[in-house]
Amino acid sequence: MDIVIDGLSKSYGNQKAVDNISFEVRTGEIVGFLGPNGAGKTTTMRMITQYLSPDSGQITIGGKSTTRNNLRGNIGYLPEHNPLYDDMPVIEYLAFCGQLQGIARGNLDQRIREMVVMCGLNDEKHKKIGELSKGYRQRVGLAQAMIHDPAILILDEPTTGLDPNQRVEIRDLIKKLGVHKSVILCTHILPEVEATCDRILIINKGKIVANGTPEALRSHTSGKSFILVDIEGAPREVITQAIKSLPGVSSVGLSADHRLLEVECADGNQTARAIYKLCVGKEWMLLQLSPVEVRLEDIFRNVTMN
Amino acid sequence: MRESWIIAKKELNSFFDSLVAYILLVAFLGFSGFFTWLWGNDIFFHKQASLDIFFNVALWSLFFFIPAITMRQFAEEKKTGTIELLLTKKLSNHQLVIGKFLACLLLVAIALAFTIPYYVSVARLGNIDHGSTITGYLGLILMSSMYIAIGLLASSLTNNQIVAFLMALLIGVVFQFIFGSLGSSQSGWLGSILTDLSVPTHYESMSRGVIDTKDVLYFLSITFLGLMLTELNISKRS
């Protein structure tokens, strides 16, 4: 089910939390929704889930507007901080959520069993939620979001509190589900976004500042490439000067550990070829020549800091 | 309605899971039983087979107990954030409020059901007026509905349970005493309006066996108003 968001705005008093944003999420797509704290992520999620109503703009889910229809049944939502009823046993809680989402009595037990297996809750299923560790609480939150097999999954920081193994499991699960569903994943863990998401949306101060695949964002936002080079056969200053004089190279510096040269250039491939030819011509030993990918952190900092 | 019933069942379960229900039942039955049968101006003192004494005591016990059961309904959901969980499911604000209301009313009804042995006992002792007993119970239910609606409204205004309790009690005091005493000290139309707004005016005639549409409408309209304002508050998502 597609989500289309058009010109969405929401203010709290004088403060604009979300400022005229538009984007789409299509079926079978996992979109990573990033942004600094207070950027408007949660407010946007709350408007999509119809918890808050927008001041202006349209949200269309599967062709229907959220202003006139209650479309919450199509959405599975894991809110920020994962609120749960601590005094309810896990199974009872899942049954409660399933009933509220309109699962027929006959299917309910089956769905609960599936969720318990899918989210790895089997050992803890009879405990009260208040007795569970943070990781298990998170799993219960995920299970309640998915119990009615919604076409849309909106997960606000789904892997906080999980250990690395659990993170990988949940990530794989999201990927698997993302094949048939529209998934919006809100998180601060950038490697997770890279590993899971098809597309990245970055929001800052209520506005969308980046929207595209990780690769597209890299080339678009940086416009520069970095190459790490290790050359033997001449003093470092001589080599630095020689590389600096190559066309397209804007600067040559030292890498973080001071062992390698870091070359900043406009086109990585072209400069790499030029460096190779330079070494051949001067009979220097080329020990290492590796392109550096712009990290997502850098893109994130780049678009949200100014 | 199905959604409201799911909420009501869950709330009722949590009353019994968290001991609230047991404490309320024991306290209500202990309190009303003690004053009805054992102490002071009790039922034997009247030399008449009637539950008037019980209805009077029940009115006062419920007046204090109802804010205690309604105080957590929305305040806690707001504090822990579970309200977001509920209202992003296939559940409207309206259904949520009705569900919570039903749960509280059912708990009060269960408490009142435990007093049916009082009725049976008095009926065996003498010639009880069945009509006025039934209208008395009806009056208690209607009055409880009204105070539950007020309690839910108070709970929807804050995320602090104590504040919700005190606020509900305060509004209750206005309906229970202030309107009545102001009404009797004023003359003319203002006095009669204030007297009409007072709970004892309407409750007493019902516990005497008179069903007046005016009384029923009074309780129902305040209940309705309270629930409507609660829903409005919830929809504001403050």
- Which helix (H) or strand (E) element contains residue A252? strand A249-254
CB contact under 8 A, B80 and A83: yes
Q: Least CA distance to A141: which residue of chain B?
A: B85
With beta carbons less than 8 A apart as the criterion, state whether A252 and A243 touch: yes
The segments of chain A whose pLDDT lies below 50 read: none
Q: What is the pLDDT of residues A28-54, one digit of tens each?
A: 899 999 888 888 888 999 999 989 888
Most confident by average pLDDT, A113-122, B82-91, B163-172, B208-217: B163-172
* Measured CA distances, B42 to B35, B37, B124, B206 (Å): 6, 5, 17, 20
Contacts of A77 in chain B (CB under 8 A): 85, 88
Q: What is the pLDDT of residues A264-300, one digit of tens each?
A: 887 778 888 888 998 998 889 888 888 877 777 777 7
- In this prediction, residue A220 carries a pLDDT of 65
- In this prediction, residue B153 carries a pLDDT of 96
For A250-263, b/e burial (b = at least 16 CB within 10 A) is eebeeeeeeebbeb
Query: Residue ranges of the alpha helices (H) in B41-81?
Result: 52-80
Q: Least CA distance to B99: which residue of chain A?
A: A100
Distance CA A24, CA A3 (A): 6
Full residue range of the structural domain in which residue B71 is found:
2-235
Chain B, 85-124: which have a CB under 8 Å from a chain A CB?
A: 85-92
Distance CA B223, CA B234 (A): 17
Evaluate if residue B68 carries a pLDDT over 80.
yes
- In this prediction, residue A221 carries a pLDDT of 58
Residues 6+ apart with CB under 8 A from A289: A227, A228, A229, A230, A272, A275, A276
Among the partner-chain residues B3, B14, B89, the one whose CB lies closest to the CB of A97 is B89
**pLDDT over 70, % of chain B:** 97
For B108-142, b/e burial (b = at least 16 CB within 10 A) is bebbbeebeebbeebeeeeebbeebbebbbbbbbb
CB atoms within 10 A of CB B59: 21
Among left, alpha and beta (phi > 0; psi -120 to 50; other), residue B23 is alpha
Is this complex scored with an ipTM above 0.90? no
Question: How many Å separate Cα B41 from the centre of its chain?
Answer: 24
- A182 in B contact zone (CB under 8 Å): no
What mean pLDDT, rounded, does chain B reach? 88
Instruction: Find tokens 């600067």 and name the residue.
Output: A251
Distance CA A28, CA A45 (A): 19
Compute the average pLDDT of residues B62-69. 92
Among the partner-chain residues B17, B18, B81, the one whose CB lies closest to the CB of A81 is B81
CB contact under 8 A, A83 and B85: yes
- In this prediction, residue A144 carries a pLDDT of 92
- In this prediction, residue B4 carries a pLDDT of 93
| Domain count across chain B | 1
- B80 in A contact zone (CB under 8 Å): yes
